[in-house]
Amino acid sequence: MSTIANSFRTQPDDSGHYGQFGGRYVAETLMPLILDLEKHYRAAKDDPAFQAEFDDLMEHYVGRPSPLYFAERLTEALGGGQIWFKREELNHTGAHKINNCIGQILLAIRMGKTRIIAETGAGQHGVATATVCARFGLPCTIFMGATDVARQQPNVFRMKLLGAEVVPVESGAATLKDAMNEALRHWVAHVDDTFYIIGTAAGPHPYPELVRDFQSVIGKEARAQLLSRTGQLPDLLLAAVGGGSNAIGLFHPFLDDPDVKMIGIEAAGHGIESGQHAASLTGGSPGVLHGNKTYLLQDEDGQITEAHSISAGLDYPGIGPEHSWLHESGRVEYLPVTDDEALDAFQTCCRLEGIIPALESAHALAALPKVVKDYREDQIILVNVSGRGDKDIFTVADALGVKI
């Protein structure tokens, strides 16, 4: 795996494609903008001052490096390989989302943009975006499905406290997909001054690439931390995949280590066979949506179908294009986990480790019982605990039939 030709880390190609996936499927109005964004991103990437500012904010504002933690009691309880957590839930704002928002707002400022828009599902990316907008003094408009606004009031209030305008989107099923449509519509009408901070490693090129690069801080840190603490690389990486930014951020720095196995966990909702799930790779097929070609939930006519997951952050009918490519190339395996399995893992993690994980991260944890027996106790399984679960306590209580 040492030669370039065999590398899994050289995607995308010059036109933004990951094999057949990715690309720039946008209206002509936006094409010049994303070409301009790509140009500025290339320049920023090569600018030590940009990297230095990013690193400084990561350390002093976000609180990085996030800890690498040996989950001793979970390891004992499951009886297999050693289970380690990458503690992204300890970041400022409580999830990995902030890594990407810091990177993108620095780009926006570099490009001279004066206002920020973003889409959000559960509100985590919206809160992270509102946070960096407050930090840098830029006005911020967050598009959020009206259904999500109603069920995620604490995050709506957080965004407003941080100074953001929250626009409820009534179209479609009024969830994340529709919020993204509306953000794109708004962007088309405000091309001169507005920067769109996309929340996951999807959308038109160069978004999947730059989100991955900003989130790769997760994998780079984990790699250095594990080598320093144990002298070895992990044997298995586990991460939940909705759009897939926390997973690609963890996986990418390890892609060319052939002995590191990786599994992305998709949300199987009520089960793949029920049709009510958000598992684009397991239960979908390739198509074009929101600027990129990737695996989607769709019917035979190419109409997009509604996703379902108990985790709002995984409740999206698509997936980042690099995951589609890694899936087809076989480098990464993708495994579905149901709502019920995630709920069990959520509670287990609370009780055994004293960590309330996000429901998204609970999906990754829920894969452990399925795979842990394949590993010896000297082998390392690293789970990305991508976010904290405080935001999810109402959903979990409801699912468990508890009134709070």
Q: What residues line the site for another protein (CB under 8 A)?
A: 15, 23-33, 171-172, 177-178, 181, 184-185, 188-189, 191, 287-291, 293, 296, 298, 300-304
Name the residue nearer to another protein (CB basis): 26 or 90: 26
Q: Which two tokens stand for residue 110?
A: 């570099």
Closer Cβ to another protein, 46 or 299, answer by number: 299
- DSSP helix/strand/coil, 137: coil
**Between 163 and 286, whose beta carbon lies closer to another protein?**
286
Check 97, 177, 261, 293 and give the catalytic one: 97
Report which secondary-structure segment, H or E, holds 263.
Answer: strand 261-269
165 a catalytic residue: no
Helix (H) or strand (E) holding 75: helix 72-78
Q: Which is nearer to another protein, 251 or 325 (CB)?
A: 325
* Nearest C-alpha neighbor of 97 from the set 221, 199, 213, 186: 199
Q: What is the DSSP letter of 266?
A: E
The owner of tokens 């907008």 is: 133
Are the beta carbons of 85 and 68 closer than 8 angstroms? yes
Cβ nearer to another protein, comparing 126 with 291: 291
Residue type, 232: Q
Q: What angle in degrees, to the nearest 10, is found between the helix axes of 153-161 and 124-136?
A: 10
CA dihedral defined by 170, 136, 46, 204, rounded to 10 degrees?
Answer: 0
Determine whether 306 is an active site residue: no
Residue 185: exposure state from Cβ atoms within 10 A (0-12, 13-18, ≥19)? middle
Distance CA 302, CA 273 (A): 20
Number of H helices, E strands in the chain: 17, 14
| Sheet strands (E) in 17-172 | 17-18, 21-25, 68-70, 82-87, 115-120, 140-145, 165-169
- Measured from the CB atom, is 115 or 220 closer to another protein? 115
**Nearest Cα to Cα of residue 364 among 325, 335, 389, 322:** 335
Distance (Å, whole) CA 308 – CA 320: 17
Cβ at position 367, least distance to another protein in Å: 30
- What is the rounded CA–CA span in Å between residue 98 and residue 246? 11
Q: Which single residue is written with the structure tokens 């109603």?
A: 150
Q: Which residues pair with 236 in a beta bridge?
A: 261, 381
Burial of 305 per CB tally in 10 Å (0-12, 13-18, 19+): middle
What is the smallest separation between the CB atom of 8 and another protein, expressed in angstroms?
24
- Please, which residue, 91 or 294, has the CB nearer to another protein? 294
Q: Which is nearer to another protein, 177 or 277 (CB)?
A: 177
Instruction: Output the six-digit token pair for 201.
Output: 């490693």
Q: Which helix (H) or strand (E) holds 106?
A: helix 97-110
Active site (catalytic) residues: 97, 119, 386
